[in-house]
A and B are shown apart, each in its own frame.
Chain A
């Protein structure tokens, strides 16, 4: 009878301090040496992590009511517009929104970073005034401690694999994939490979709606499938998508988050983004799960796309493994191209290790998904009516 473990059993081990946790990088040589059955006997959990730019991020804030009260119809935080088309004093500050006074150098991501750093931000709001909310204008300073609720709610994070970007054109391209040099002068990539959460759980067996995670250093949850979630992406022989696949929508309280794991970014001539640190534990329920978390960079491929072609469907030029990407050079149609990452493996490892220690210390238990992420058709394009 092959061995299996349940979420309850693993949580019991966490509570009694008997749990054995390793990171998704550390487990690879263990499985190579001893095989999945032996490793399953010894290890209960694997931690995965990523720290990369995730544009589709933002935070819901509730400011509380002034006296007389105002029904805020337009809201700015440090001159960055926040979406206020919801109830009277609720707003959503999107990470990529730019300041009306400072342009690309300051935006929604910076507002969120400032708030979790303990800084006050200038709140300005206007309204048309109603019988129940007579005030028409307000300007004051607010910090995280002044807000009723402040939670990150990121519609699309933790991409399961992504493109490798090159530029065939004869000029520099400034993109969300970084600065791409002309004539295939460089190649950039952006996942943490064998340490990345959804590459270790390719069929979303344990990562689902309700999974408890480490979000920017605080506790958070998987809220939903992420936007453009694409489980139908072509997969390799191990079942791992060869380009952008599944995505997650994440939620978590800004209180408890650390600036170390949440940083605002500006991509030159592109715009603002937010580096988000995410750590996700994967329970080793059976041998199959052990085999999946043992996946290594040489078994994960990504597709190289030409960002020098300014179309929705950029030409795919070939496939490379993460082992090749990490080596500093890829070979594409006979041409050697130097590579560089855009997400921080250094920080991802710190997150995976921090999550491992929290679990070992009994400070972080795991949750089974309350519902699975959907496994269905791909992403629809936007058609323009003529």
Chain B
């Protein structure tokens, strides 16, 4: 399954257009909204995970957005965990709604990077300050 994570920036005049609808309908893309900040009349941002059987479909969908004036950047931010400094307290798991951070075998912290949606709540929830955002 091809997958791509992107950060979309909408100019104010586009925030009221149903662009994601077209991504689903016209390009057959599965859309997972990781983060959204859209206020009518203001610039909006949307972090999406797009998936489809073919990478070509994803690129066509993104081209469609660019043609409509949406700026696209790959989601390059990611969460890094300094594992050797972790005390496995579990505080970060309290805020991790995506289930990327959990306590596993022997109650040790497990970080499943594929599930992480970079919401960044764990960064401040970690009392050891060993979780950081990397750009």
Contact = CB atoms under 8 A, between A and B. Distances in A.
Interface of A: 51-53, 105, 174, 178-181, 185-186, 188, 263, 265-269, 273, 275, 338-347, 349
18 contacts: A51-B87, A51-B89, A52-B89, A53-B127, A178-B127, A180-B94, A181-B95, A268-B124, A275-B87, A338-B94, A340-B91, A341-B103, A342-B89, A343-B89, A343-B90, A344-B89, A345-B107, A346-B107
A268 B125 contact: yes
Interface string B63-94: 00000000000000000000000011111011
A338 B101 CA distance: 13
Interface string B29-52: 000000000000000000000000
Given A178-B94, A188-B94, A344 B107 contact: yes
B124 A179 contact: yes
Nearest to B127: A265
A265 B128 contact: yes
A357 B89 CA distance: 23
B121 to A, nearest CB: 7
Interface string B89-124: 111011101000001001110000000000001001
A53 B125 CA distance: 14
A344 B87 contact: yes
Interface centre among A51, A269, A342, A349 (most CB of B within 10 A): A342
Given A179-B125, A267-B127, A340 B93 contact: yes
A105 B94 contact: no
B125 A178 contact: yes
B90 A341 contact: yes
A105 B129 contact: yes
B121 A179 contact: yes
Contact of B127 (A180, A181, A273, A345): A273
A160 to B, nearest CB: 20
Interface residues of B, number: 19
> Quick one: which of B89, B106, B121, B124 has the most chain A CB within 10 A?
B89
A340 B121 contact: no
A178 B9 CA distance: 33
Contacts of A346: 87-88, 106-108
A343 B107 CA distance: 11
B95 A341 contact: no
A341 B90 CA distance: 5
A275 B89 contact: yes
A106 to B, nearest CB: 10
Contact of B90 (A269, A342, A349): A342
Given A179-B94, A340-B93, A349 B124 contact: no
Given A178-B125, A266-B129, A342-B90, A349 B107 contact: yes
A340 B94 contact: yes
A340 B127 contact: no
B49 to A, nearest CB: 22
B116 to A, nearest CB: 17
Contacts of A273: 127
Q: Which of B93, B95, B127 has the most CB of A within 10 A?
A: B127
A185 B89 CA distance: 19
Contacts of B87: 51, 263, 275, 344, 346-347
B93 to A, nearest CB: 5
Given A185-B97, A344-B89, 5 more contacts: A180-B94, A188-B91, A188-B94, A268-B125, A346-B87
B128 A174 contact: no
A339 B106 CA distance: 17
